[in-house]
């Protein structure tokens, strides 16, 4: 049995769905952020798998099949920036309201 | 066993532990344990990248996610209270609806993966071996120079923003 592109895509879909459940179902905002990081990782697996199995034809044969890996690197950079800013916001909210539950932070609820 | 069957075995072992780690993150009742399951999950993701012959991405995954982002998460958990309590990571009252949404999303993704990508080969390309890190560097400094610089500016802005937001006023 050979591992094909579909195996990696289905694995990535499972991880993405678990992360989606975590984002929707958790109360603790740190836990929601961890689920978002899992979804980032699922997308990264998809991109690298596509670049391995479906490379973009280019004139440069060495660079063939690496565009997806470059995209994955950019996603890692954006995820790091997102995590830093989000955790700073969490600490600022915690300092003001003494809670990390998203259900208790309802200032903008009408 | 041939190389191919070893690869198949490695894929299923890594995939199993990857899903176990992901379920641990969303299901464990203590938030600290969730963070540790997240570390395990990041390591397994790195293994998937190794299987895909993306060793530079795998090393970056370990350095940035395991080394940096997990430490950020642990800091945030330790700086907020009740992190060791048994119910520090509870699901909310809508968790059954969340399960439904996740299952439906996975069904749509599965249908797309099985039916939507028909006209292309699923055999692995022979390329991608060789000096991947060097080629990645040349790509980043060549065709992807503008997004590379934009990512640098984004990281600087995020760093300043995080300091300003988290500062004691």
Q: Out of A33-47, A50-64, B125-139, give the one with best mean pLDDT.
A: A33-47
Looking at per-residue confidence, does A42 or A53 come out higher? A42
Q: Which residue of A has its CA nearest to B8?
A: A3
> What is the model's pLDDT at position B153?
96
Per-window interface: A 32-71 vs B, CB < 8 A: 33-35, 37-38, 41, 44-45, 48-49, 51-55, 61-67, 69-70
Give the residue-averaged pLDDT of B114-126.
62
Give the residue-averaged pLDDT of A34-56.
88
Give the residue-averaged pLDDT of B102-121.
81
CB atoms within 10 A of CB B112: 12
Which residues of chain A neighbour B48 with C-beta distances below 8 Å? 8, 11, 45
Structure tokens at B84: 């060791």
CATH code for the domain of A46: 1.10.287.3510
Give the residue-averaged pLDDT of B4-33.
91
> What is the model's pLDDT at position B43?
94
Cα–Cα distance for residue pair B21/B79, rounded to 1 Å: 24
Sorting pLDDT into bands at 50, 70 and 90, what band is A63? low
DSSP labels for B40-95? HHHHHHHHHHHHTT-HHHHHHIIIIIIIIIHHHHHHHHHHSS-TTSTTSS-B-TTH
Asked, for residue A104, whether it belongs to a domain, the answer is no
> What is the model's pLDDT at position A77?
93
Sorting pLDDT into bands at 50, 70 and 90, what band is A64? low
Determine the length of chain B.
169
Q: How near does any CA of chain B get to the CA of A88, in Å?
A: 5
> A28–B88: do the CB atoms touch at under 8 Å?
yes
What is the domain extent for residue A59? Answer: 5-97
Tell me: pLDDT of A110 over 80: no
Structure tokens at A35: 């689920």
Q: Does B117 touch chain A (CB under 8 A)?
A: yes
Q: Which CATH number among 2.60.120.1440, 3.40.50.970, 1.10.357.10, 1.20.120.1200 corresponds to the domain B1-102?
A: 1.20.120.1200
Give the residue-averaged pLDDT of A3-21.
91
Looking at per-residue confidence, does B88 or B20 come out higher? B20
Q: Which ipTM did the prediction report? A: 0.89
> What is the model's pLDDT at position A103?
81
Cα–Cα distance for residue pair B53/B50, rounded to 1 Å: 5
Asked, for residue A91, whether it belongs to a domain, the answer is yes
Question: Over the stretch A69-105, which tens digit does the pLDDT of each residue have?
Answer: 899 999 999 999 999 999 999 888 888 888 888 888 8
How many domains would you assign to chain A?
1
Question: Over the stretch B50-86, which tens digit does the pLDDT of each residue have?
Answer: 998 888 999 999 999 998 899 989 888 888 866 566 6
Tell me: pLDDT of B88 over 80: no
């Amino acid at each position: 049995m050979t591992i094909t592109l579909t195996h990696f895509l289905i694995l990535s879909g499972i991880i993405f769905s678990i992360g989606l459940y975590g984002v929707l179902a958790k109360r603790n905002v740190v836990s929601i952020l961890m689920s978002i990081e899992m979804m980032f990782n699922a997308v990264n697996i998809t991109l690298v798998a596509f670049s391995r199995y479906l490379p973009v034809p280019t004139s440069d044969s060495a660079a063939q099949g690496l565009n997806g890996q470059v995209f994955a690197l950019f996603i890692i950079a954006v995820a790091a920036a997102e995590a830093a800013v989000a955790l700073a916001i969490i600490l600022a909210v915690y300092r003001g309201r003494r809670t990390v539950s998203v259900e208790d932070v309802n200032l903008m609820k009408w | 066993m041939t190389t191919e069957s070893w690869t198949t075995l490695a894929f299923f072992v890594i995939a199993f532990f990857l899903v176990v780690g992901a379920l641990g993150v969303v299901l464990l009742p203590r938030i600290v344990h969730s963070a540790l399951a997240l570390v395990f999950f990041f390591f397994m993701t790195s293994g998937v990248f190794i299987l895909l012959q993306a060793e530079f991405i795998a090393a970056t995954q370990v350095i940035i996610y395991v080394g940096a982002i997990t430490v950020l998460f642990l800091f945030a958990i330790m700086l907020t209270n009740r992190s060791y309590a048994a119910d520090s990571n509870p699901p909310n009252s809508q968790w059954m609806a969340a399960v439904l949404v996740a299952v439906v999303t996975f069904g749509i993704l599965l249908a797309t993966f099985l039916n939507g990508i028909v006209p292309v080969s699923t055999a692995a390309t022979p390329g991608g071996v060789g000096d991947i890190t060097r080629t990645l560097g040349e790509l980043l400094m060549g065709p992807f120079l503008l997004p590379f610089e934009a990512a640098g500016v984004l990281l600087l802005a995020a760093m300043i923003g995080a300091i300003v937001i988290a500062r004691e006023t």
